[in-house]
A and B are shown apart, each in its own frame.
Chain A
Amino acid sequence: MRLKELVAKEWEEVFKIRLVLFSSLFMPLLLAGLAAYLVWQGRNLPQEAIGAQVALFNTALMYFMVLPVMIPVTIAVYSIVGEKEQGTLEPLLATPISDWELFLGKALAAILPALALTWGVFGLFLAAVWVMLGGVPGMVLSAPWLLSLLLLSPLLALLGVLVTMLVSSRTTDPRAAYQFSGLAVVPALVPLIVYSARQAAVNLFLVGLEGGLLLAVDLAAFWLAVRLFRREEILTRWK
């Protein structure tokens, strides 16, 4: 009940900010469009250019791995730094909301839209590719791709939120928080860049490996973030 209230409030507040609206609505559409364009570019390259095709497709997938980090970072930066800047943490903590509800509310308010938007624009992307090419290439509608979207996206979104929570508790400047938290996007980029450089398509091994690594990093960040989200800590240590 309180959780629902908090999440509703977060959305009401944060989507009034233009930058948040921009990065959570315009950016997903833009990146999905670019991804569709890349797939179209690589549609029927000759056999010798298979490496180039793989790189194009990998980059397209990378866009869908960046979104689930970027959106929650943007939302969480404003929902946490905003709370500090407006001095609302104290009245909020004076209510009988539990530390857990606060933590979960902030996390869900950022993760849910991120996943909905990522999956939503991925659907649009598939539709666009289908229209442009008269069908979806097998490399796109493959197990590694779908697993990346279903499994890695939530883990990446969680990472984005947790890193933002850790960073935001230390600053009242949304820009600084944004820049530091943006580093959470690295795990979304590195593996695909490496694979593209080797002209290898994403495979299940990569997805599994990255899933495992993300899970470990998420757990560590979670452990730290939960400790930060205690009343006493928020009131006395957050700057």
Chain B
Amino acid sequence: MIRTQGLTRRFGDLVAVEDLSLEVREGEIVALLGPNGAGKTTTVRMLAALLAPTGGQAQVAGFDVAREPQAVRRHVGVLTETPGLYRRLSAWRNLEFFARLYGVRDPRPNIERYLVLLGLWERRGDPVGTLSKGMRQKLALARALLHEPAVLLLDEPTSGLDPESARSVREFIQELAGERRAVLLCTHNLPEAERLCSRIALLKTRLIALGNPEELKGQLFGTKVLVKLANPKPDFLQGISLPFVKEARLEGPTLAMRVEEPERHNPILIRRLVELGAEIQYVTQEERTLEDVYLELVEGEDEA
């Protein structure tokens, strides 16, 4: 549904996005993650045929963004970084206007549907200027959906929402992807990306990593096995100097080890420890958060 090859955008001398190759399939939510100025919004704008790429290509909903921009616009729903609504017009009128521009013949059923789904039905007649920030954000999301686009580009959809609203919007986005749409979601909220997205693209002008959250964590840190002992002894460290143990340390009562293939090697390791007389209380896997991964990658890129 979205496919880019070597997508690049320069502003004069500044390279905002460089050589981005990415694919988002039908029914999939992919997170576009990256620090401020990483080029997320620029990417969204290129995919929405708002900005022309200065290099590379992108197909969105089957159309080329550079050659068939109008077709792309017809099939894409965009939630822009700021809601961008007419403050003096009512919520309903805002949606109606945009729906008509998208060529929706009778927008009423969809306007009603999305206003109800997003909890804005009661406020439909109020001027947008009198709505709260979160309500405007939701209204802008509704606007992105009126023409039932196959591809959704959401630039920070939950920024500025209270936890409850953020959650309802997240659930809503999940349903949308369930309706066989492709969703690209820019966010700074790592737990959100982890919960919602099947894959994460880490962008910092260039694509620095791509994969599902588990893969990213594994790729970066390997997995650490933690064994909590009732009788920690430095002797155990010598006892387990096996070829597949890459690193072993005793941290208080816990033996922390990095092994090549945990699922195959852990049983051997544990048997060995038991033979050495270790009294094992717990065996766990070290939890790395997506935040660790993110910071590691982004900072690593800085040094490079």
Contact = CB atoms under 8 A, between A and B. Distances in A.
Interface of A: 1-2, 5-6, 9, 12-13, 16-17, 86-98, 231-232, 235-236
Interface string B60-99: 0000000000100110101010111111110001000110
B82 A87 contact: yes
Interface of chain A: mostly helix, strand, loop or mixed: helix
Interface stretch (B32-40, B44-52, B259-267, B282-290): B44-52
A94 B87 CA distance: 19
Contacts of A231: 50-51
A92 B101 CA distance: 8
Contacts of A236: 11, 51
A86 B87 contact: yes
Given A87-B83, A91-B140, A97 B51 contact: no
B228 interface: no
A16 B128 CA distance: 14
Contact of A13 (B88, B101, B103): B88
Contacts of B50: 90, 93-94, 231, 235
A95 B83 contact: no
B121 interface: no
A91 B11 contact: no
Contacts of A93: 50
Contact of B89 (A9, A96, A98): A9
B288 to A, nearest CB: 37
Given A96-B74, A96-B102, A90 B97 contact: no
- Which 10 A-B residue pairings sit nearest by Cβ, starting from the closest? A95-B101, A87-B84, A96-B73, A87-B82, A91-B84, A94-B78, A88-B84, A5-B100, A16-B88, A90-B80
Interface of B: 11, 45, 48, 50-52, 70, 73-74, 76, 78, 80, 82-89, 93, 97-98, 100-103, 140, 143
Contacts of A91: 78, 80, 84-85, 98, 140, 143
21 contacts: A1-B103, A2-B101, A9-B86, A9-B97, A13-B88, A13-B89, A17-B88, A86-B84, A86-B87, A87-B82, A87-B83, A87-B84, A91-B98, A91-B143, A92-B84, A92-B101, A93-B50, A94-B76, A94-B78, A97-B101, A231-B50
Given A5-B97, A5-B101, A232-B52, A94 B85 contact: no
Contacts of A235: 45, 50-51
A94 B50 CA distance: 6
A12 B87 CA distance: 12
Contacts of A232: 51-52
Given A87-B80, A92-B84, A93-B50, 8 more contacts: A12-B89, A13-B88, A16-B88, A86-B84, A94-B80, A96-B103, A231-B50, A232-B52
A2 B99 CA distance: 10
A92 B78 CA distance: 10
Contacts of A88: 84-86
Contacts of B76: 94
A216 B97 CA distance: 36
Nearest to B83: A87
A174 to B, nearest CB: 14
Nearest to A5: B100
B90 to A, nearest CB: 10
Contacts of B88: 13, 16-17
Nearest to A89: B84
Contacts of A92: 84, 101
B100 A2 contact: yes
A12 B93 contact: yes
B74 A86 contact: no
B73 A95 contact: yes
